[in-house]
Structure 1
Amino acid sequence: MKNIASFSGGRSSAYMVYQLMRLHPDTDFIFMDTGAEHPKTYEFIKNIVKHWGIKLTCLRVVVNPELGHANFYREITLDELTQDLQPFRDVCYKYGLPYLGGAFCTRTMKLEPFTRYFNDKYGKNNYQTWLGIRADEPRRLKPKEGYKYLADISDFDKQDIINWWKSQPFDLEIPEHLGNCVFCIKKGVNKIALATRDEPKMAEDFINLIEDPNIRVVERGQQANKIMYRGNNSLVSIMAMYQNHSRDDILATIRGGGGYDTGSCSESCELFSCQLDLDFNVR
C-alpha cells in the first residue's frame, strides 16, 4: 500500500511530512494548489523542499468549462506556485461561488484532482492518504478507509507543533487567521474581517474576483447576493460590519482575546476533513 502525504501548507501538515520522511522514506508528497494561498504559504512550501530535500508534486485543477464534464489536473513547478486566484476563478466560472452550505471548493480543487492523479498513477485502492490532523483535533479524526492521520504517528498537540517549529531554521510566517486560504468560507466573520485589515490588497483582488460578471450565478439567494460566509454575509458586508472597529477590537473578538480555535480549517485545508468541519459544526 503506497503512502501518500497530502501536504496542505500548514505547520501540522508539514510536521507530518517530516515524520513520514523518517518512518516511510518512499512516501509520495503532494500539494494541491488553489492559487488562493497566502504568499508566505508558498514561501514555506519552497523552504521545506529546499531544506528537507523532498520531491514534492504540485497539482492544479484543470477545469472543463462544460457542465456535466469532468475536470482534470496538471502538474506545476515550484516556481509556478503563486497567488493568482486562477484555479478558484475557473471553478467559479463553472459552478458559481462556493458558500458555507455549498463548500465545493475543496472537493473540486483538491480532492477530485488528487484522486484522479493517484488513481492514474497507482490504481484505485492501491494507496493510503495521510492528512496532517493532530491528536487534539478529535472532531476531525474520523475513521475513513484509505486515510491515516498525523495523530497515528505523533501525540503532538498544537502547542507542541508550534514549539517544534520555533527550533527550526524556517517557519510559516503568518498568523493563523490568514492561513492558508486567506478568505476561506469556513472562517468566522471576525477572522475574515481581520484578514481584510491585514491584507487589504488581497481583499481587493478577491472582491474583484467574486464581482467578475463571468462567474456563474445559480438561481439561489446565496450566489446572486455574493453570500459566502456565516450569518448570511458577503465579504463586502463583513467589511462594512466592522468598519468602525479598530484592528485590536476585531482581534479581541477572536476566542481567547487573540487565540484561535484548535482543529479548524482556518489552520489548514485538508482533503476531506474540511467537509467534516461543516458536518459537525466546528467553529
Structure 2
Amino acid sequence: MRDLIVSFSGGRTSAYMARWLQLNKSTEYNLRFVFMNTGAEDERTLEFVNRCDKEFNLNLAWLEADIIHGERTGTKYKVVNFETAARNSEPFYEMVKKYGIPNQSYPHCNRELKLAPFNGWMKDNGLSDAYRAIGIRIDEIDRMAANMDEMKIIYPLIKWNPSRKGDVLGWWSRQSFDLEVPEHYGNCVTCWKKSDRKLLTIAHEAPELFTHFDNMEIIARDSGSNADNNKGNFFRKNRSTKEMIGESILDFNKFHDRYYEQHSDQSNGCSDSCDLFS
C-alpha cells in the first residue's frame, strides 16, 4: 500500500480533505496526517486541530522546527502534541536569530518552520518517496504547484473529490463542531504575507498580538539575511511592526469576515500560500 502524507494546515478545507481521505482512500493508501506548528497560530486554531484529531481519530503528527544554531547544521524537527505545542512563537524566535527576519525579500520562514523539519521527519520515518496531499479546492486551481508530478503532490479536492468553497462550508454546517476563528486571524496570526487590510484590522483590534514580531525585529535586525542590508522589518515596503500598529489607528477600510460564525472557509488566511510541499 502506498504512503500518502496529508497536510493538515489547521483550516476547514484541509480538515475536510483529511476526513474525506480517511473515509474514501484508507484502503488504497497508508494515510499519515501532519500538522506543522510555528508557535504563531491563534489558540483557537490549535483547539480546532486537536478536536479534529480526536473526533476523526487521525493519529495526527504534530511537528515543530528545531533550529540548530550551527553554521552548517540545518533545521531539524521535534514531535509535540496539543499540550506541549509552542504558543509564544518560540520556533519563530529561534529561526530569526539564525536566519534573520523573513519578509518579501527574504521569505525563508516557510522553508525553515515547515519544509525543512517536515522533510527531516519524512526521511526519519522512511517516507521520502511518499505521495503528498494538499487541501487546495477546485476553485483555487491556480494555486497548484507547477512541479506537482515531480514532488508527488496530489490535490484530492481537485482530482478525486472536486470541491468548492460552498461544498466545504456545507459539510461543516452539518458537523458537531467548527473552527471558531475569523479569516484574518488564520494561519500565523500576524503573517507578513497577509494583506495590509487584514493586518491593520488585527493591529486595530488586538495590537498585543504583534508583540512577538516587534521583539523579533529588535533582537534579529542584524541576523542572517538581514545582516548586510539592515532590512530587518517584516512587512511590505520595509515597514516595521511599530509602523503597522501606527497605521492601524488611522482611518482605513477594515476587514470584516462576513462569514465568521456563519461557517466561513478558513483554508488560507494569507494572500500567498505556505503549503508544506511548495
**Aligning the two structures, in what range does the TM-score lie when normalised by the shorter sequence?**
0.7 to 0.9
Q: CA offsets per residue over residues 174-208 of structure 1, 9 Å max, x none? A: 11111011111211111111112233322223322
Q: 1:170 aligns with which of 155, 161, 177?
A: 177
What is the distance in 2 between the residues matched to 1:92 and 1:265?
20
Q: 1:195 aligns with which of 168, 191, 202?
A: 202
Alignment of 1:68 with 2:72, yes or no, is yes
What is the distance in 1 between the residues matched to 2:5 and 2:79?
16
State the SS of the aligned residue for 1:192. Answer: helix
Structure 1 outlier segments of 4+, above 6 Å = 259-264
Shift of 1:212: 2.7
State the SS of the aligned residue for 2:219. Answer: coil
Q: CA offsets per residue over residues 61-92 of structure 1, 9 Å max, x none? A: 11111122212111112211242100000000
Matched residue, 2:139: 136
Alignment of 1:220 with 2:223, yes or no, is no
What is the distance in 1 between the residues matched to 2:267 and 2:56?
27
Shift of 1:173: 0.8
State the SS of the aligned residue for 2:255. Answer: helix
Shift of 1:222: 2.1
Q: 1:238 aligns with which of 221, 244, 262?
A: 244
| Contact in 1 for aligned 2:100/2:221 (Cα 8 Å) | no
What is the distance in 1 between the residues matched to 2:135 and 2:248?
33
Shift of 1:213: 5.6
Structure ranking higher in helix proportion: 1
| Contact in 1 for aligned 2:183/2:266 (Cα 8 Å) | no
| Contact in 1 for aligned 2:63/2:79 (Cα 8 Å) | yes
Q: 1:186 aligns with which of 176, 182, 193?
A: 193
What is the distance in 2 between the residues matched to 1:38 and 1:88?
14
Alignment of 1:51 with 2:55, yes or no, is yes
Q: CA offsets per residue over residues 208-252 of structure 1, 9 Å max, x none? A: 2332368724212422xx2x2223322222222231227xx4227
Q: CA offsets per residue over residues 66-120 of structure 1, 9 Å max, x none? A: 1222121111122112421000000000000000122110111111111111122
Which piece of structure 1 moves more, 34-43 or 236-245? 236-245
Matched residue, 2:12: 11
Matched residue, 2:161: 154
Q: 1:31 aligns with which of 35, 44, 57?
A: 35
State the SS of the aligned residue for 1:136. Answer: helix
| Contact in 1 for aligned 2:22/2:31 (Cα 8 Å) | yes
The aligned amino acid for 1:36 is A
What is the distance in 2 between the residues matched to 1:250 and 1:271?
30
Question: Alpha carbon RMSD of aligned pairs, Å?
Answer: 2.6
In structure 2, the gaps of 5 or more residues are 259-263
Matched residue, 2:261: none
| Count of aligned positions | 263
| Contact in 2 for aligned 1:60/1:74 (Cα 8 Å) | yes
In structure 1, the gaps of 5 or more residues are 274-283
What is the distance in 1 between the residues matched to 2:271 and 2:187?
7
State the SS of the aligned residue for 1:4. Answer: strand
The aligned amino acid for 1:108 is E
Q: Normalized against structure 2, the TM-score is what? A: 0.86
Q: Percent identity?
A: 31
Shift of 1:28: 0.4
Which piece of structure 1 moves more, 153-162 or 92-101? 153-162
In the superposition, relative to structure 1, how do residues 268 and 39 fare at CA in structure 2: closer, same or farther (>3 Å)? farther
| Contact in 1 for aligned 2:12/2:265 (Cα 8 Å) | no
Which piece of structure 1 moves more, 53-62 or 140-149? 140-149
| Contact in 1 for aligned 2:132/2:277 (Cα 8 Å) | no
Q: 1:115 aligns with which of 113, 119, 122?
A: 119
